Amino acid sequence: MNRSVFRNSKKSKTFLTILFAVISIIYILPIVTVLINSFKANAYINTETFALPTEESYVGLDNYIKGMNYGNYPFFKAVGYSLVITIFSTALILICTSMAAWYITRVNSRFCKLVYLMCVFSMVVPFQMVMFTLAKTADSVHIPYYSFLSHSLESVGLNTPWTIPIIYLGFGAGLAVFMFAGFVKSLPVEIEEAAAIDGCGPFRTFFMVVLPMLKPTLISVGVLEIMWIWNDYLLPYLVLDRTKYMTIPILIQYQKGSYGAVDLGVTMALILLSIVPIIIFYLTCQRHIIKGVAAGAVKG
């Protein structure tokens, strides 16, 4: 009886291994296709899409070099704006949502429960529902600031790389608050009470005691937010002033020649350059994602 159960278990594991291997290949195939076509001449991509480069179709790194200087907008400038938006947005989301989740969990009033439910509800609201209103609001709302160059009070809209993180905070708060709140519930309150007895106020307690304990979820949420913001196309396309600012996905979309012709080889090369950093980043940090999600999966 035990041998039959063992054999059935071994067969099921083998079947699942083969099944998930096939699924993995299906998911990896588009990336491999992009990689292969990034080394081909444009004329061969449509006719020999899945074929390996030959002596006639192989162009080496020409597509990559051409992509760096293609069009009127420098590629590295788009990389810079993508980095600014990704780093500032992720930092803002992590700090604000972790503080909010800590307050919601510890106070646990009706108002805090309502705010928590609103954050969870925001996760199921599709972006397409609010995108037109959002684009109009981003153009009309201005944030005042003091300019040291002109020594006067000026204002800036939400349609710049330095202010769009505020919009990303609104869209990224739902998942982040949900994960942070789940993890905070597992933290012992006695540690915070001891910090308060030692003279720590709320801010010192959070930054010196609570925040270090949130490290697994901080890394997990940070990785997920970075992957989302770096690859996001629609929100920057609707909000940013595209005559001045372009992220990498927007720049790739605008890689067109005369009469709307698209150089697919250059496009494939730029797509690969944009996804390779985030793939490496994800593979490096994927164990932290699993650890953070498991840490936050506690009973409230």
pTM of the model: 0.84
130 band by pLDDT with thresholds 50, 70 and 90: confident
Residue 2 pLDDT class (50, 70, 90 cuts): low
State the CATH number of the domain containing residue 200. 1.10.3720.10
Percent of the chain whose predicted confidence (pLDDT) is above 90: 21
Strand partners, 144: 155
pLDDT band (50, 70, 90) for residue 63:
confident
DSSP 145: E
Residue with tokens 């959070």: 206
Q: Does 265 fall in a domain? A: yes
Please report whether residue 96 resides in a domain: yes
DSSP letter string, 152-186: EEEEEES-STTTHHHHHHHHHHHHHHHHHHHHHTT
Stretch 268-286: mean pLDDT, rounded?
A: 85
Residue 242 has pLDDT above 90, yes or no: no
In whole angstroms, give the CA distance from residue 89 to residue 240. Answer: 14
Residue 224 has pLDDT above 50, yes or no: yes
Give CA separation, 277 vs 112, 236, 284, 286, in Å: 38, 20, 11, 14
Q: Hey, is 142 helix, strand or coil?
A: strand
pLDDT for residue 236 is more than 80 = yes
Confidence of residue 293 (pLDDT cuts 50, 70, 90): low
Residue 22 lies in a domain: no
Per the model's pLDDT, the better-predicted residue between 60 and 297 turns out to be 60
pLDDT of 259 reads 55
Q: Identify whether the C-beta of residue 185 lies closer than 8 Å to the C-beta of residue 179.
A: no
- Tell whether the model's pLDDT for residue 1 goes beyond 60: no
- Across 233-246, average pLDDT: 88
Provide the pairing of β-strand 152-157 with 142-147.
Answer: antiparallel
Q: Across-strand partners of 143?
A: 156
* pLDDT on residue 263: 78
Name which of 280, 278, 231 is nearest 253 in CA terms. 231
- CB burial of 98-129 (b: ≥16 within 10 Å; e: otherwise) equals bbbbbbbbbeeeeebeebbeebeebeeeeeee
If you average pLDDT over residues 199-205, what whole number do you get? 88
Distance CA(219)–CA(290), nearest Å, equals 10
**Span 53-61, average pLDDT:** 85
42: in domain: no
Amino acid letter for position 197: I
Classify residue 53: in a domain, yes or no.
no
Rounded-to-integer distance, Cα 106 and Cα 188, Å = 11
Q: Read off the pLDDT of each residue in 155-162 and give the average, rounded to a whole number.
A: 84
Structure tokens at 218: 């901080």
Q: What is the mean pLDDT of the chain?
A: 84
pLDDT in tens, 243-259: 888 999 988 888 765 55
Distance CA 135, CA 239 (A): 5
pLDDT at 300: 44
Distance CA(114)–CA(109), nearest Å, equals: 9
Look at residue 66 and tell me whether its pLDDT is greater than 80.
yes
What is the predicted pLDDT for the residue at 164? 92
Single out the residue of 245, 270, 238, 244 nearest to residue 256, CA to CA: 270
Mean pLDDT throughout 103-121? 90
- Report yes or no: 164 and 236 within 8 Å, Cβ to Cβ: yes
- 157 burial level (CB within 10 Å; 0-12, 13-18, 19+): middle
**Residue 128 pLDDT > 60:** yes
How confident is residue 4, by pLDDT bands cut at 50, 70 and 90? low
- Is 235 contained in some domain? yes
- pLDDT tier for residue 51 given thresholds of 50, 70 and 90: confident
The total of structural domains in the chain comes to 1
Which domain, by its residues, includes 248? 73-296
